[in-house]
Chain A
Amino acid sequence: MSNAVAKPKDWVPKGDLQKEISAEKMLLELPRELLFITGSEAAREAIKRANIDCAISYPITPQSETMQQAGYLYDEGYIKEYYRAEEEIGVMSATAGASRAGVRALTATSGPGLMRGMEAISSWPGARVTPVLLDMCRVINTPLAIQPDNIEISFLLNTGMIMLHAENQQDFFDYTLAACEVTEHVDVTLPAMVSVDGFFVTHARGPVSIPSDEYKLNRRDGWRSAVPAMDNENPPARISRDAPIQKSNFISYHMHASWQQEVFAALERSGKYFEKLLKGRIEIINPEAEDFIICSGSAVSQAREAVRQEGENGRVVGLVKVKTLRPFPTTSIVNALKNAKRILIPEFNQAGWMHKEVCSVLYGKCKANIVDGPRVFGGMTMPTEMVIEWLAKARKDFP
């Protein structure tokens, strides 16, 4: 704690000195420097380059270290507006409010905070606002814990928002920047959530290569959007963007239905941008394998190690990493797994949402035996030994 000091009169916000470039240039072209940093620091580096206008914070473990870093970035002038709001309903409402004004807004939360803000968050896609939400996954079910468990992701799968699941610190940096641009394409105009498993990534150090901070993304153009900003810059009309279509008649039913259809169509349209910026929406290792692991987030790291150790023992195991949970890369997954014989789906949650997703897209298109696990939850990690054990069991059960 120290006392506030006013900025000198000749203070220049550091963000003003950065050069604006596209996400394509930022992520795919600029030379990079390798750092060894935590996931929270990777988020800070992404936010620093994301040309954020407004960041609104509220503390919750394990997210706090990210949004307090955003506060320092505001102090340095990389972010134009920043405050600590009352709680997550307030945070999510205000973040949407800022986005409605036509500026780039960002916030971050974790498990219970996400649930608290859920009513607001689930209204974002339909409101066609474009904030980016960083989500550091943690336990939400009772008994409560602060440890990583990504069951919260399952609650958002059907909202219509873009959902990315970062495997590690590097992904967290790249996905955040990609999300900041893709959300604002006119044919998308949707919010995005970038999830990462708390602690395992946020508080752990790993290698992250990043471009120079002399650059930042192009600013949001508030005039370019699928629906006008709430800025009263359009001729008046007796229509509100959030028409309260609460009359029970067929016009209101159609209005809601067509609006939602368009939200989910826009979500699909975002896929092509991620395909480019993330170099594919899935990653495949050992495509010729008969045994496959498919997963997202931290589970991918454990699976990679399992694939390596199996390889050292002469067993070829394939791996599919899913980067975009929404839009779900259905076609790529079907193509990658159509010749698999056994599929393992390791997850860091009890519900097995990835298992359900994968089963639903593979149904009738693949003859593999799909194993319902392995799964850990409540915060524990999944040792590589566990993945290898499950692989051995699958081979025995389905010879």
Chain B
Amino acid sequence: MSLDTIKPSPGFLEHLPIEYQDLVNHGQYGKKMKASDMGKFKELIEEHPMCAGCAMTLFIRLVFIGLPNPEHSVIVGTAGCGRLAISQGNVPFIYGNYGDTNSTASGLKRGLELRFPNQKKDVIAMCGDGGLVDIGFQGLMHSWFRNEKFATIMLDNEVYGNTGGQESGMTLKGKVLKMAPRGKVDEKMDVMGLAKVAGVDYIARIAPTNPGRVLRTVRRAILVAREIGSSYIQAYTSCNIEYSIPTPDVMKDAFDIEKERYGFEEIVSDRAKKFLDEVEKKKK
């Protein structure tokens, strides 16, 4: 979609819903928004049916703001809490079958490259920990080994939130959750390590404590996927319901966990680093 597509034909704008008018007049299309701009422009996602105080929702909101080219992006998701919010965004969203995100995105990305040889389209697979590393493990790993050119974002709430709080591969050892009545037996899966082994070009672990850093990380991941190869962001997006975090303390929990075991970390391949250096130097 070119930026012109957003603009209604002359004389039509006033007849469109106010929401749409705001997107055209005060949206993020064609601009690069900063975290400090939040509240001053019409965001791609606003209303959503997520739980009050949900950290995942904040993170998803930041991902939308971080999209370098929302007018040329397609998001692929699967079952889980995240898709309830993602599907409300102004970006085409494929709500596929269980755990099929990275397989679907592989075909989609290749198809888009065939159809639009002169216009890069960003494909982003964004879904929960269960969807990616439990049921979607095979598709995830193989898309990485094939070095598919799309970004994968894990919304890691360390639990199956949408189905009511069952343990997932990303749950910490010992946590008592549904389907782990005596506490989870195994360790949290080291997906960062798996990504590294699979040769993912840009890998980042992050908690939504620093909005500016989230925006930068999302942009980096998407740009690397667009030009170099697979990228992966693993984001701590706590489930305040299943982990009983009082709503006012959700951000405090994010800071605590970040400090304890979820610190910001980037693993960047040499070629991705070279590319990012060039892009970021140019911008300055």
Interface residues of A (CB under 8 A from B): 53-54, 56, 80-81, 83, 85-87, 89-91, 93-103, 105, 119-120, 123, 222, 229-238, 240-244
Contact = CB atoms under 8 A, between A and B. Distances in A.
A97 B103 contact: yes
Contacts of A80: 114
B108 A235 contact: no
B112 A234 contact: no
- Best-surrounded residue of A86, A103, A123 (most CB of chain B within 10 A): A86
B107 A87 contact: no
Contacts of A85: 103, 106, 142
B149 interface: no
B70 to A, nearest CB: 8
A156 to B, nearest CB: 16
Contacts of B141: 86
Given A53-B114, A97-B104, A123 B138 contact: no
B252 interface: no
A86 B146 CA distance: 10
Contacts of B8: 235
A124 B46 CA distance: 30
B93 interface: yes
Given A86-B138, A235-B5, A242 B111 contact: no
A97 B107 contact: yes
B139 A238 contact: no
Contact of A89 (B74, B112, B115, B139): B139
Contacts of A119: 97-98
A240 B96 CA distance: 11
B126 to A, nearest CB: 13
Contacts of A230: 74, 92, 94, 108
A250 B120 CA distance: 40
Contacts of B112: 101, 231
B5 A240 contact: no
Contacts of B90: 236-238
B61 to A, nearest CB: 14
Interface string B89-132: 11111111111100111111111111110000100000000000
Nearest to A122: B97
Contact of B114 (A93, A101, A236, A241): A101
Given A103-B114, A238-B90, A97 B72 contact: no
Contacts, number: 156
B197 interface: no
17 contacts: A53-B115, A85-B106, A89-B97, A89-B103, A97-B103, A97-B108, A97-B109, A97-B111, A100-B104, A100-B107, A103-B111, A103-B114, A120-B100, A235-B1, A236-B6, A236-B71, A238-B88
Contacts of B96: 93, 96, 120, 123, 242
Given A85-B103, A119-B98, A231-B116, A236 B83 contact: no
A96 B111 CA distance: 10
B241 interface: no
Given A53-B114, A90-B142, A123-B97, A234 B104 contact: no
A123 B103 CA distance: 14
A240 to B, nearest CB: 4
B172 interface: no
A290 to B, nearest CB: 49
B114 A232 contact: no
B103 A232 contact: no
Contacts of B87: 240, 242-244
7 nearest interchain CB pairs?
A101-B111, A97-B107, A94-B107, A93-B103, A97-B108, A86-B142, A98-B111
Nearest to A80: B114
A98 B92 contact: no
Contact of A232 (B74, B98, B110): B74
A232 B97 contact: no
B69 to A, nearest CB: 9
B94 A236 contact: no
A167 B37 CA distance: 65
Nearest to A86: B142
A103 B116 CA distance: 10
A1 to B, nearest CB: 20
Nearest to B140: A86
B111 A86 contact: no
Contact of B138 (A87, A102, A105): A87
A229 to B, nearest CB: 8
A93 B104 contact: yes
Nearest to A239: B87
Contact of B107 (A95, A233, A236, A237): A95
Contacts of A229: 115
B116 to A, nearest CB: 7
B5 A97 contact: no
Contacts of A103: 111, 114-115
B115 A97 contact: no
Contacts of B115: 53, 101-103, 222, 229, 231
B269 interface: no
A93 B110 contact: no
Contacts of B35: none
A101 B7 CA distance: 23
A231 B121 contact: yes
B192 interface: no
Contacts of B114: 53-54, 80-81, 101, 103
A101 B113 CA distance: 9
